[in-house]
């Protein structure tokens, strides 16, 4: 049997929306008190972990225990690793230039503008992107080959992301590299190993929800939205717009894949 209990799943959708909203509202309150909105980037991973844990609790008795545990642990590990990495990276720094520019141009009260355009928007995206996590927890089917493939994709993505972040952090920690473009390790194969890793993680989690055609169709929007955000939205596109004028970036972009990994090109001259 692969059909989930749609009534129970519907209640979970409401509870997960409330969970994501609560995380973002608490983060907003802390950010306003500190005058530092960059902490919302930490809350992004925390909110996914909170939704996964809420779903795990509510899905008891409905979904297969192995699938419930696998999708919950996979999401929590990914979300908390990302949150801790971003928290460490931002420690001791001021406001993120993206948020500073946005708030400088905000019509009316900048705090209310940030609430609408950042916190509530991100809370909605957490709910939408986490649909496979929620659906998978309510599927009564035991883990099978498709789920195993999903976990393999998830693990590959997590390692790609974590290794890329570690390599970049070590590169930036060396004062001799100040102002230089990171083009070593995974960063010589793709300009965004962390974003590529995220993409694999969410396609892997999606496969855990593919034990029935109904949940596969319902939750396909999740990896598609995440892929669009990473490639054309707030990920690659915005970061490269910020880096475009840095010395050496044009040459780096000419020899290195923009997203999907491949060996670096040889550039004449």
Contact 114, 102 (CB under 8 A): yes
Q: What angle do CA 239, 243, 248 make, to 5 degrees?
A: 140
Report how far apart, in Å, the C-alpha atoms of 250 and of each of 137, 183, 193, 196, 229 are: 45, 12, 18, 20, 23
If pLDDT is split at 50, 70 and 90, which confidence band does 103 have? Answer: confident
Determine the Cα–Cα distance for residues 37 and 111; give it in Å rounded to an integer: 10
| Domain ranges within the chain, ordered by starting residue | 6-255
pTM of the model: 0.94
Rounded percentage of the chain residues whose pLDDT exceeds 70:
98
pLDDT in tens, 25-60: 999 999 999 988 999 999 999 999 999 999 999 999
Q: What is the mean pLDDT of the chain?
A: 92
pLDDT in tens, 59-89: 999 999 999 999 999 999 999 999 999 999 8
Q: 178-186 contacts: CB < 8 A, separation 24 or more? A: 179/246, 179/247, 180/248, 181/243, 181/246, 181/247, 181/248, 181/249, 181/252, 183/252, 183/256, 186/160, 186/261
């Amino acid at each position: 049997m692969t059909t989930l209990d749609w009534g129970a799943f519907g209640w979970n959708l409401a509870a997960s929306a409330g969970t994501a909203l609560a995380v973002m509202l608490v983060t907003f309150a802390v950010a306003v008190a500190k005058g530092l909105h960059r902490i919302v980037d930490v809350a992004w991973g925390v909110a996914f972990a909170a939704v996964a844990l809420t779903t795990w609790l509510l899905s008891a008795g409905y979904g297969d225990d192995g699938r419930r545990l696998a999708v919950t642990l996979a999401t929590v590990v990914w979300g908390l690793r990302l949150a801790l990495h971003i928290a460490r990276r931002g420690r001791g720094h001021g406001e993120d230039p993206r948020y500073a520019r946005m708030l400088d141009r905000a019509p009316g009260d900048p705090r209310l503008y940030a609430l609408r355009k950042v916190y509530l928007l991100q809370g909605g995206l957490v709910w939408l992107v986490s649909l496979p996590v929620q659906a998978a927890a309510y599927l009564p089917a035991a883990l099978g080959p498709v789920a195993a493939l999903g976990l393999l994709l998830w693990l590959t993505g997590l390692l790609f992301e974590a290794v890329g972040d570690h390599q970049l952090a070590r590169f930036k920690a060396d004062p001799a590299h100040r102002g230089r473009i990171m083009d070593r390790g995974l960063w010589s194969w793709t300009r965004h190993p962390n974003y590529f890793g995220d993409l694999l993680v969410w396609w892997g989690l999606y496969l855990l929800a593919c034990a029935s055609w109904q949940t596969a169709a319902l939750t396909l929007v999740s990896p598609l939205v995440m892929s669009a955000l990473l490639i054309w939205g707030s990920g690659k596109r915005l970061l490269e717009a910020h880096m475009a004028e840095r010395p050496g970036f044009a040459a780096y972009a000419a020899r290195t894949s923009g997203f999907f990994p491949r060996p670096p090109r040889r550039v004449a001259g």
